Chains A and B, each alone.
Chain A
Amino acid sequence: MAETITIEPITRIEGHGKITIILDDDGQVSDARFHVTQFRGFEKLCEGRPYYEMPAITERICGICPVSHALASGKACDAILGVHPPEAASLLRRLLNCGEFIQSHALSFFYLSSPDLFLGMDADPAKRNITGIIEAYPEMARDGIRLRKIGQQIIEMISGKRIHASWVVPGGVNAPLDAGHRQTMLQMIPEALEIIIRTLALFKKTLDQHREEIRTFANFPTYFMGMVDEEGNLEHVSGRLRIIDAKGHIVADAIDPADYREYIAEAVEPWSYLKFPYYKPLGFPAGIYRVGPAARLNVCNGCGTALADQEWAEFREIERGPLMSSFFNHYARLIEILFCIETMQGLLAEPAILAARVRAVAQPNFPEGVGCVEAPRGTLIHHYRVDEDGLMTWANLIVATGHNTMAMSRGVLQVAKRFITGAKITEGALNRVEALIRAFDPCLSCSTHALGQAPFTIRFMKTDGTILGET
């Protein structure tokens, strides 16, 4: 008798999602799906609005990575205006992005995933949360909270507000950097570096305990996509896209994000509100690819900053070619925090960063614009069309979680097959399914996230939909 296991809602992620696992007659896992159960409709509701409202409208998509939406939107608007932001604005946008990566990655690692990583996948669910971490590893909990705070304070000092600052505007940013704030930020760097180096060392020690998770957390060959700079090094804001295959060969390089449609197409499935982007030359669903922290470290030639480069080299030593397991996203997140702290140091040392000229002014000169950045969770693309008066006629947004949907669904299947067998379904097994999703750190609506153990129900269903039982 075929059954369906539903995990809803998935806890300790950003937003609301659900997992269904379908068991065949013998109780073996036959299929699994990851669903996003909410619909928000930003692409439609912005139609008719002036293009220059888009950074503010789209940053409201998310409370954790609003900076990424504002930056992608700002860049799409730059393209509509046909301007290059002044040098200081470009530097400040990159600086702001560093603050966001630090706080967002810290949230994902310390608040959401560290309970699984340090207390154990099978630990008592009542303890397997951030308060459990505070009890067991008070030092690390304090580090995590402090690091996230540093990231948030950096965002606030640059843009005036921790979230939804509306500071990124078409053509640049709306206020220059205060010299006093620059000094305060520089003073924060040594502490942030200490925290991240300490955490990296701690995390690397746990890798051996997670061999089974590494082996099964979406560990299969796919393509990877990420942004790199002119030298092929890791870049989050102003680079070009690179796609590699499962062996690590570059299949497309220096892609101008404006041409993304030549490489990426989107499919739709009736069971999820997420769209399914795929690598166009391979078709759907063969063109599965992944984005995000591990994908970025897989595609780049290095980080381009001293300490992060060492960590990157060690990271890439783990496997020959690209690292396939999505479990390594946790590792990559820590390396990216290190990279961002070092990048910040470099940016703050630039004399031009204090310049007062931070905005290029123009009328809309082009009917279409694409903006692309690396958000903490992966590549983010904003694509707008406007009419002659500059009012939006059409928008397409591809968010990181979208790129990863196919990989997440297949990853759920892989984990379920390994840990769920027949009637015996342990809490730890279901937590591993959730932990796989957490490794991707999906941003489903980015508006809420459950702290600790929210109630989730497992539903056993016949194929005709009748509910056999609920736990």
Chain B
Amino acid sequence: MKIHPRKNVRSDLNPSRLLTFRIDERVVSAHEDESILSVARQNGISIPTLCHLDGLSERGACRLCIVEVKGVARLLPSCVTFPRQDMEIITASERVVSYRKKILELLFTERNHVCAVCVSNGHCELQNLAVELGISHVRYPYLYPRLAVDASHSRFSVDHNRCVLCLRCVRVCDEIEGAHTWDIMGRGITSRVITDLNQPWGSSETCTGCGKCVQVCPTGALSEKGKSVAEMIKRRQFLPYLQMMRGRQDESWPK
């Protein structure tokens, strides 16, 4: 199992430096170990995200949080980029927004997202992002892959048609629950989230049935069985607390 590097704990022996830099023309200051995304949000500057979730490790998978940094040709994902002194960051330039739209449109083409009949309709992060970014249509051809629903679990089901491969389920299962039932197989566009060694969820030996993966899933891919359209409202408030409490057990929580 992959051991996730723990954040450096700030202490007198290991102080973190305070930096001053600019986000969207605003002068902000932050610790050097805080991501650009985190600093922006603390300052009321919103950057769209999909794979990021407070309480889970960063993954940098969705690329929706890309920002422009002056002097850097590439766009950088703000969730895994850390500030430097005097950095100048632009969060919503025309270039950035047009890339975000393309990314989102490509996400829609990859699977079969049909909001009208989805359990998460109206409570879906993907749908909200599309509304936020003003996506009225998709410019690329849809792939319409043939994907199955796994409803073998007694309480939950996974519908790969609605999965955006954010891997929140993989992270929450590994980092918070500690079961690591979820993983990913395949490469690129053929990637799929799987339970155990790609066996039906209902026959998984490691799944504890806690349902955290369902709650953190941004779309209707993971849902409670029997929920009807728009009825799957996910609650994620527990995550930061749970992370803190579990952190106490391995003593990373400052006493």
A residues touching B (Cβ–Cβ < 8 Å)?
48-50, 52-53, 55-57, 60, 164, 166, 169-170, 174, 361, 363, 389-391
Contact = CB atoms under 8 A, between A and B. Distances in A.
A166 B149 contact: no
B151 A56 contact: no
Contacts of B151: 50, 389-391
B13 interface: no
12 contacts: A48-B149, A50-B151, A53-B228, A60-B116, A166-B228, A166-B229, A166-B230, A169-B231, A389-B151, A389-B157, A391-B149, A391-B151
B117 A56 contact: yes
B227 interface: yes
Contacts of A49: 149
B15 to A, nearest CB: 54
Nearest to A81: B226
A385 to B, nearest CB: 15
Contacts of A53: 117, 119, 228-229
Contacts of A169: 228, 231
Nearest to A169: B228
A56 B149 contact: no
Contacts of B131: none
Contacts of B148: 48
A174 B231 contact: yes
B152 interface: yes
List 8 A-B pairs, minimum CB-CB distance, nearest first: A166-B229, A389-B151, A56-B229, A169-B228, A56-B117, A57-B117, A389-B152, A52-B226
Contacts of B157: 50, 389
B99 to A, nearest CB: 33
Contacts of B70: none
Nearest to B150: A389
| Residue of B117, B149, B152 with most partner-chain A CB within 10 A | B117
A163 to B, nearest CB: 11
Interface residues of B, number: 18
Contacts of B228: 52-53, 55-56, 166, 169-170, 174
Contacts of B230: 166
Interface string B101-130: 000000000000000110101000000000
A226 B56 CA distance: 58
B225 interface: yes
A389 B154 CA distance: 8
B225 A52 contact: yes
A48 B146 CA distance: 10
Contact of B226 (A48, A57, A361, A389): A361
B40 to A, nearest CB: 37
B116 A50 contact: no
Nearest to B155: A363
Interface in B42-77: none
| Residue of B149, B152, B202 with most partner-chain A CB within 10 A | B149
Nearest to A74: B228
Contacts of B225: 50, 52, 363, 390
A170 B229 CA distance: 11
A49 B226 CA distance: 12
Nearest to B231: A174
Interface string B213-231: 0000000000001111111
Interface in B153-179: 154, 157
Nearest to B152: A389
| Residue of B116, B119, B228 with most partner-chain A CB within 10 A | B228
B16 to A, nearest CB: 49
A53 B117 CA distance: 7
A446 to B, nearest CB: 15
Given A166-B230, A390-B225, A60 B117 contact: yes
Contacts of B121: 166
Nearest to B154: A363
| Residue of A52, A170, A363, A391 with most partner-chain B CB within 10 A | A52
